[in-house]
Amino acid sequence: MSLLSVRGVYQDGVVQLLEPIDVAGKFKLIVTFVEPVEGNGHEGKEDHDLEKQRESVLSCAGLLSDLTDQEWKVMQEAMRRPLDMFVPVPEDSQ
């Protein structure tokens, strides 16, 4: 199974997940304390400023336009594969 990151809030020995997950069974966890929060932790979770998001997407699009044909093919193949940091990438049989 690949790694799954979920936002949550730790308080007084209890971790409350802020997003639903579809996982059954028993798993090892690594808990990372990011920063103290006020309230229930939901505030400021997502930035809905569409103009800011548009600028961010356009800056990435500019980077993509500089790729060579070969780099673009590699990028497309990478985007099709699931992200699992513990499984070696299979070698192409050419």
More confident residue, 51 or 43: 51
d(C-alpha 4, C-alpha 35), whole Å? 20
- Tokens read off for 12: 């007084």
Domain boundaries along the sequence of the chain? 8-80
Q: Report whether pLDDT(27) > 80.
A: yes
Q: What is the pLDDT of residues 47-83, one digit of tens each?
A: 556 677 777 777 777 777 788 889 888 888 877 776 6
Determine the pLDDT at residue 25: 87
More reliable by pLDDT, 25 or 43: 25
Whole-structure pTM value: 0.37
